[in-house]
Amino acid sequence: MPFNEFSFNSYSEIFQLYGNSIRVCDYKKYKKGIVVRHDIDWDIKKAYEFSLFEKSIGVSSTYYVMITSEIYNIFSLKNSKMLKKMMENDFELGLHFDPMLYINRKKSLSYYFHKEIEIFEIFFEQKILSYSMHQPSVHGQYLKTDLIDAYSDDIFSDECYISDSCFNFRGKDPIKFLSKSKECLMQFLTHPSQWSKLGIKSYNEFVNYKISNFKDDLYKVYEFNYEFQKQKNIKINNLNL
């Protein structure tokens, strides 16, 4: 199975073999199956496209969004429409919380966490049932709350958790590893930006995709600016990422 390609076909083969996919908010109702989770670190559009693919193959999953992302805005018209459609399609949306923004603040980390929850719920008119911390292995920050934690001991250990972070499964073969879902709960974390119909092999491919989409979005923002339209064949020179 060519997981180095991170293709939709590779992804769907898992669920053809093992079937039962579970949203994080529902995992306590089950004793076996694959708890499917996606952290949206880069791009709402890619996550939305991935959710449509998952819907087409009958996969249930949870998408975690960041209120404090430096790359996307969940409250923009375009992004919020996609996120609302994902909820209508019965995907769970949860909070992807980055504690690094609140280091050395006067109030507790829990205070800012619940403020982010409140902001999301007011805007989307939808309750948040679960959350995931952003890069906890880097900063070592965890929270204990009444909400379901994607890093709960029930579904997060070396024996029951696999992630595609950095295009690397850390020596675990997804097909072999997730076969245990026939007997117990397993958690499968993916980042939608790393998957495509043909398969993405590196961040270089995705960064170029992101730049191309940003250019299209920028042109859309300025579509009624006549001076911008006259000059819109803007070239990005000496771009070296």
Would the pLDDT of 239 be above 60?
Answer: no
What's the average model confidence in pLDDT over 15-37? 96
60-2-240 Cα angle (round to 5): 95
More confident residue, 191 or 216: 191
Q: pTM for the complete prediction?
A: 0.88
pLDDT at residue number 237? 52
Torsion angle (degrees, nearest 10) of CA 160, 197, 46, 59: -50
Q: Is the pLDDT of residue 197 over 90?
A: no
Instruction: Indicate the helix (H) or strand (E) that contains 176.
Output: helix 174-178
Mean local confidence (pLDDT), 31-58: 96
Q: What is the pLDDT at residue 103?
A: 86
pLDDT at 167 over 70: yes
pLDDT, position 224: 79
